[in-house]
Amino acid sequence: MSRLFLLVLVSLLLAPPAHAGKVDASSKLFSAAMLEAVNARDPDRITALVDFDSIVARGADGLDAPADLMRGFLQGMKVGSRESGLVRDLILTVEGGGGFKYLGAKNDHSGEWAVFRLLPAAGGFNHISFLLHKDPQGVVRAKDFLILSSGELASALSRRLILPMAADANKNLLQKMVGKESLLVTHVEDMHRIQQAMAAQNPTEGLAIYATLPKELREDKLLMLMRLAMVSPDQDAEYRAVLSEMERLFPTDSATAVARIDAHFLRGDYEASARAIDTVAASTVPDPYFGALKSSVLNTAGKFAEAEAVARAAATQEPTLTDAWWGLIYALTQQKKYEEAVQADEAARLAGLVFDYASVEAMTPLLASEPYTKAAAAREAAP
């Protein structure tokens, strides 16, 4: 994962449910329609598949918000999703050469979820899980969604945005609020200032404002993710402190595990980074990408035999997964298994993947090996 992607995680929102169960046809219908809409870069069709009315209604549950305010918020959410939110992010990912893939479905107490993997070309990964239902017209749509790296429902985030507006419109509402919801209203300007500091790439100011927040807000997961995104990689003690607090407060949360992958890797604790990948993988539907990601960590750690095993399994499960093939070929090369590396390279080429080995110094031995030169000569001679 990249630290830049961590900033994106703060604004997205989603984390898949924990228990698999029997899945009906709804997920297949929805996934086919969503993949088609995203690959067509069609914002209208993507928007139509997300029931924003339901998301806002779930977020406003129990709040006595004026109807005209809620209509305005709903319209703003739909427009915002197209301009800077979910819809735009999905389209930009595929336009930029990234990947958007349906992974499968699962059921829990909330209902049926369709889970997708997002792989931006710039780096990083995420899972987006859509909670499905049939609208009054019988169309399968998402009534809510979650992002793996934040562990928050879209409806929960919308509630955080609705609260201050509802309190402003209904002065009695703030008096009825207790705990964190009351603090989210009274400190809304502080949170806006933190977001502005992040947008201006002024983390010093953002962290200073964060430090003035009440303890309950400083221990809010999304605000802690924002704090983590503002900490420079060279601020090792501060970075570790934030992670330690997240692990204490949210020990089983997917957002904590995802953050640990990057944090441990950047600090050279590759074993801990690999364990964090396993933790994240166990929290969602099966995804070969986790094997590819783990192979990268193991290769960096010099554990080439282990990297070979997990990368080979990932490439077998998903033959077009670029990172899996690269991890496998790299691991084989470092073990001087050049014949097997060439075989893997040929298999990757059959999947449409061609790697620039010359740009990576560690792959020079493969290019100079007899198996590779023979294979290259054969390709040159082929009609």
pLDDT tens digits, 191-245: 999 999 999 999 999 999 999 999 999 999 999 999 988 987 678 788 888 888 9
Instruction: Output the pTM of the full model.
Output: 0.86
| Predicted confidence band of residue 19 (pLDDT cuts 50, 70, 90) | very low
pLDDT tens digits, 41-95: 999 999 999 999 999 999 999 888 889 999 999 999 999 999 889 999 999 999 9
The pLDDT of residue 39 is above 80: yes
pLDDT at residue 275, as a whole number: 93
Whole-number average pLDDT of the chain: 89
Q: What is the DSSP string of 276-328?
A: HHHHHHHTSS--THHHHHHHHHHHHTT-HHHHHHHHHHHHHH-TT-HHHHHHH
Triad 161, 52, 185: Cα angle to 5°:
10
- Among 151, 170, 189, give the residue marking a domain's end: 170
- Among 170, 201, 222, give the residue marking a domain's end: 170
Q: Is the domain of 158 the same as that of 299?
A: no
Tell me, yes or no, whether 83 lies in a domain: yes
Tell me, yes or no, whether 66 lies in a domain: yes
Closest CA to 114 of 151, 79, 82, 144: 144
The pLDDT of residue 23 is above 80: no
Structure tokens that stand for 247 in this block = 């692990």
pLDDT tens digits, 140-198: 999 999 999 888 999 999 999 999 888 888 777 767 777 888 899 999 999 999 999 99
Tell me, yes or no, whether 327 lies in a domain: yes
3-class secondary-structure state, position 375 = helix
CA-CA distances (angstroms) from residue 113 to 22, 32, 50, 54, 56? 11, 14, 13, 15, 18
**What number is the average pLDDT over the span 95-122?**
94
Chain-centre distance of CA 24, in angstroms? 25
pLDDT tens digits, 304-340: 999 999 999 999 999 999 999 999 999 999 999 999 9
pLDDT at residue 2, as a whole number: 40
Q: Is the domain of 153 the same as that of 294?
A: no
> Given phi > 0 = left and psi -120 to 50 = alpha, else beta, which region is 325?
alpha
**What number is the average pLDDT over the span 263-267?**
83
Is the separation of the CB atoms in 246 and 6 below 8 Å?
A: no
- φ/ψ (deg, to 5) at 83: -90, -35
Tell me, yes or no, whether 277 lies in a domain: no
100: domain CATH number?
Answer: 3.10.450
pLDDT at residue 371, as a whole number: 97
Tell which wins on pLDDT, 3 or 317.
317
Tell me, yes or no, whether 231 lies in a domain: no
The pLDDT of residue 9 is above 80: no
- Please count the residues of the chain: 383
Domain span at residue 337 reads 288-381
pLDDT at residue 24, as a whole number: 63
The pLDDT of residue 6 is above 70: no
Task: Quote the longest CA-to-CA distance of the chain.
Answer: 81
Report the alpha-carbon distance of residue 66 to residue 245 in Å, rounded. Answer: 38
359: domain CATH number?
Answer: 1.25.40.10
Tell which wins on pLDDT, 38 or 122.
38
**What number is the average pLDDT over the span 92-115?**
95
Q: 């934030």: which residue's tokens?
A: 242
Structure tokens that stand for 188 in this block = 């809304």
- φ/ψ (deg, to 5) at 129: -115, 125
Tell me, yes or no, whether 214 lies in a domain: no
Tell me, yes or no, whether 247 lies in a domain: no
Tell me, yes or no, whether 280 lies in a domain: no
- Among 138, 170, 202, give the residue marking a domain's end: 170
- Could you give the number of structural domains in the chain? 2
Triad 77, 81, 83: Cα angle to 5°:
115
